[in-house]
A and B are shown apart, each in its own frame.
Chain A
């Protein structure tokens, strides 16, 4: 492993990933905070305000000229649900100093700019800049409304929100239209100040680094200096917040929209406390619907020819599996029947050692490529951080290898269909 972590202050960590695999350096600040109905929209609004300017570069044009000067560094923000937390991600990717044409220290500019954007926005006393607020509220609304533009992810979100309601994991990460208008500058400023002083903060720097220099740069940075130590305020991903219950009656819903292809999502609960639950679930999911050898791909697509895309995804923090496929609307019954047969087949142990081996090989090879993708590696480590796990990729692989057929069958018998959602015309 090539990662070194360092606690800058209580609740604030720096992680250095030293690698010469890339032509770029990637710095990333991640703020983790619990998902709540009353803050979810505010969380989503914050990146919109922060990207507008820093004290040193007080407007869009200045900030972006700076990025262009850094050989087209790209600044991006993202927001993701991770279990019952939301993570706000701020990235700058820039070319490594080795490729700069005039020996500039691009990494230093990268990191300082990112710290300024997140922790030193244009402010008026304790308040964020009010001029930006109304426009950015409108921009946030556009992003919230865009939910319907991608039918596939819309269907998944709709199924999740049916299963969880408008609480925690059921919340939409970009928030809700009806919340936006009433947010005042005082409210959002207070919330921002609270967020940066009370949340878990992780700073990742990946690239061809001189660790000591980067460490010193962080320690001397005025933005870091003004952050206080904090008791991290987030929900540990290993502690499941609701005890899962077996649902007696499967919820079956369909929603009408002007679509050519129907989108089917089936949400499953895993209700079990068996040992190695997450890893066994991962292998189970691979047999069911991850990859070309999976039952979904082989039966729904290859044998029945019902779908082009047929797969399942495992959400480890919530112990859910979501089966997803795009089908012709009149094939709904047929597809549901075939998928239910696959679930029964795994329960009965109707799969071979070869199926298990294929799934393990598939999972292990994707894990091995984690260290070869700069952003994927950071996401892997933040997942570990939030679970307070410190499993290396090799240890993870070892656990996968040990999963047995008996364990998979045991797990299969604790998988319960919760909701069938169908988007159709």
Chain B
């Protein structure tokens, strides 16, 4: 077992790789809560692959990873594991992202009883024509619910404008048309291709003795690795963006704007870049910045824009989201501010203050067992160990941040997505 200690946040991470290839991580904490998440490196972007031993490319319908997430709870005895877990008083759930699918529960009691059910359902799919059919209406309603979320339209439009062929422009839940093509055979095929130990990660956080829980888990894992590997195929993406601007009208009160910058460099150090972008977020848009102050005083924005670096192994981009009635002016002011900052450089004191904020945010990530565990899952499938953020934080400097500003915040890679109120 590997043990990594982080003296900044005073936590220890235990990592064990089982003989079948499954990685288990445990971050013990003296809480009453216990949290477990088991995740497969399979998400909405994984729509083309060579199944183990096959020479013909399999292409699956959009939304299938999410459909599988809904259906994995079905059991051969006719029960639904979500109901069983819920009746044990544990808070069970699952979610699908662009690069992984996660099954989890959180509890203050009955962890062991729930673990039996949990290990059983994740490892034993049971799909029938009937139970697959039954879910279609429910997922259609989930898709329709998202259709009414302005932020979701804003995001998907930005992806489609930024990427021509990259699979990030696929809606995680698919569409009514694509999910109509999903059947039990396809679900079994993706399960057998991707839900294999070497392609999964389990993370636990809470009141655990790492050695004990890992031994216990070993006796419950029946999953075997495939003799052959599943080979994923992704489209090749062009360097350029598709279009500079996209807008949609919805029934909302104020326009929401997403400024996105496409980052084609998927090789350089992601953590360092992520921290640099967080620092830049505070320096450019933070409430203490000159830009924020000006736009606020002029009544053009009233809350702090959010700044995020979203990335996986196949894409990377910066997302800046804000609300304003003055879309053009705000975009213009922002551009001017960025140009100035690129020309004149960042002030030392602004850099130091932003860095302190970023450090505080890193520490806060270790407050809650759920955030801790899902944080490790998120980072792992990007090839990152979350603790490494603290190492990179220590060595980041102003020059590097300025370099990121100049290289990434460029006009030719910028996309603007707007969702605005319906014009009467």
- A23 CB contact (under 8 Å) in B9, B299, B353: B9
User: Which B residues touch A98, using CB under 8 A?
Assistant: 10
Assembled-state Cα–Cα distance A120/B148 (Å): 42
- For residue B142, CB closer than 8 A to chain A, the reply is yes
Bound complex: CA of A67 vs CA of B288, how far in Å?
9
B109 proximity list for chain A (CB < 8 A):
365, 368
- B148 x A151 contact (CB < 8 A): yes
Bound complex: CA A358 to CA B282 (Å): 47
On whether A362 and B366 interact (CB within 8 A), knowing A60-B293, A146-B253, A292-B83, the answer reads no
Give the number of chain B interface residues (Cβ < 8 Å).
Answer: 66
* Cα A357 to Cα B288 with chains together (Å): 52
**Chain A residue contacts of B136, Cβ below 8 A:** 305
Residues of B contacting A60 in the complex (Cβ-Cβ under 8 angstroms): 287-288, 292-293, 296
Kindly state whether residue A327 has any CB partner on chain B within 8 Å: yes
**Supplied contacts A142-B302, A326-B141, A372-B108, 12 more A-B pairs, CB within 8 Å:** A21-B30, A22-B367, A23-B367, A68-B354, A72-B360, A101-B359, A142-B254, A149-B254, A260-B148, A354-B87, A369-B106, A374-B367
| A: contact size bracket | 35 or more
Smallest distance from the beta carbon of B387 to chain A beta carbons, Å? 14
B125 interface residue per 8 A CB criterion: no
Instruction: Flag whether B343 is at the interface (Cβ < 8 A).
Output: no
Give the CA-CA distance A404 to B254 in the complex, in Å. 50
Q: Least Cβ distance of A300 to chain B in Å?
A: 10
Stretch of A162-170, A272-280, A306-314 contacting B (4+ beta carbons < 8 Å): A306-314
Q: A258 touching B422 by the CB < 8 A rule? A: yes
The minimal Cβ–Cβ distance linking B289 to chain A, given in whole angstroms, is 8
| Known contacts A142-B254, A302-B80; A369/B357 CB under 8 A | no
Whether A68 contacts B251 in the complex (CB less than 8 A), given A22-B367, A24-B367, A308-B141, comes out as no
- Residues B353 and A65 in contact, CB atoms below 8 Å apart: yes
Instruction: Tell me how far the C-beta of A152 lies from the nearest C-beta in chain B, rounded to whole angstroms.
Output: 8
Distance between Cα atoms of A71 and B33 in the complex (Å): 27
User: A64 an interface residue at 8 Å Cβ cutoff?
Assistant: yes
Nearest A residue to B304, CB-CB:
A64
Tell whether, in the assembled complex, residue A142 and residue B253 are in contact, meaning their CB atoms are under 8 Å apart. yes
In the docked arrangement, what's the CA distance between A63 and B288, Å? Answer: 8
Contact residues, A12-29 vs B (CB, 8 A): 20-24
A260 CB contact (under 8 Å) in B139, B147, B297, B367 = B147
Tell me whether A95 and B251 are in contact in the complex, defined as CB-CB below 8 angstroms, given that A61-B288, A365-B107 are known contacts: no
Query: Which of chain A's residues have a CB closer than 8 A to the CB of B108?
Result: 365, 368-369, 372
Residue from A326, A365, A373, A374 in contact with B90 in the complex, judged by beta carbons closer than 8 Å: A365
A94 at the interface (CB under 8 A from B): yes
Give the shortest distance, in Å, between B385 (CB) and chain A (any CB): 19
Q: How far is the CA of A372 from the CA of B144 in the complex (A)?
A: 34
Are B299 and A135 closer than 8 Å at their CB atoms?
yes
Docked Cα-Cα span, A276 to B225, in Å, equals 55
- Least CB distance, A24 to chain B, in whole angstroms: 6
Q: A354 vs B88: C-alpha distance in the bound complex, in angstroms? A: 11
Within 8 A of B (CB), among A339-367: 354, 357-358, 361-362, 364-366
Which residue of chain B is the closest to A359 with respect to CB atoms?
B87
Chain A residues with Cβ under 8 A from B297's Cβ?
Answer: 135
* Given A60-B296, A71-B363, A261-B144, A364-B89 contact (CB < 8 Å): yes
* Chain B residues within 8 Å of A59, by CB: 293
Tell me the A30-76 residues at the B interface (CB within 8 Å): 59-61, 63-65, 67-73
CA distance in complex: A125, B29 (Å): 51
Q: Which of A99, A257, A307, A357 is the one whose CB lies under 8 Å from B138?
A: A307
Closest 7 interchain pairs by CB? Answer: A72-B357, A71-B360, A305-B137, A72-B360, A365-B89, A64-B287, A361-B89
B150 within 8 A of A: yes
Which single residue of chain A is at the shortest CB-CB distance from B296?
A: A60
Partner of B144, one of A260, A358, A365, A373: A260
- Taken residue by residue from 73 to 88, chain B's Cβ proximity to chain A (1 for < 8 Å, 0 otherwise) reads as 0000000101101111
Known: A305-B137, A306-B137, A308-B145. A368 touches B253 (CB 8 A): no
Interface string of B232-253 (1 = CB under 8 A from A): 0000000000000000001111
If A68-B354, A260-B144, A372-B32 touch, whether A138 touches B9 (CB-CB below 8 Å) is no
The reply to whether B361 and A149 form a contact with Cβ atoms under 8 Å apart is no
Interface residue? B134 (CB, 8 A) = yes
B359 & A71 in contact (Cβ 8 Å cutoff): yes
Knowing A73-B360, A365-B89, A368-B109 touch, does A145 contact B144 (C-beta < 8 A)? no
A369, closest chain B residue (CB): B108
In chain A, positions 124-162 with a C-beta closer than 8 Å to chain B are: 135, 138-139, 142-143, 145-149, 151
Note all chain B residues with C-beta closer than 8 A to A298.
Answer: 83
What separation, in Å, do the CA atoms of A361 and B30 have in the docked complex?
A: 23
Point out the residue from B254, B290, B353 that lies within 8 Å of A146, measured CB to CB. Answer: B254
Q: Interface code B282-326, partner A: CB below 8 Å = 1, 0 otherwise?
A: 100011101011001101001000000000000000000000000
Assembly CA distance A64 to B89 (angstroms):
42
Inter-chain contacts of A197 with B (CB < 8 A)? none
Task: Given A95-B360, A95-B363, A368-B109, decide whether A145 and B254 contact each other with a Cβ distance below 8 A.
Answer: yes
**A71 and B367 within 8 A (CB):** no
Once the chains bind, are A69 and B353 in contact (CB under 8 Å)? yes
- Whether A293 is near chain B, meaning CB under 8 Å from some CB there, is yes
Q: Is A241 an interface residue (CB 8 A)?
A: no
Check if B340 is an interface residue, CB within 8 A of chain A. no
Q: Is the CB of B293 within 8 A of A61?
A: yes
Q: Is the CB of B145 within 8 A of A99?
A: no
Partner of B360, one of A94, A151, A362: A94
Interface residues of B in 358-396 (CB under 8 A from A): 358-361, 363-364, 366-368
In the assembled complex, the CB of A328 is this many whole angstroms from the nearest CB of chain B, namely 7
Q: Does B55 contact A (CB under 8 A)?
A: no
Interface residues of A in 67-111 (CB under 8 A from B): 67-73, 93-95, 98-99, 101
**Chain A residues near B367 (CB, 8 Å)?**
22-24, 374
- Pair A148/B251 contact, Cβ less than 8 Å: yes
The CA-CA distance from A265 to B385 in the complex, in Å, is 45
B185 within 8 A of A: no
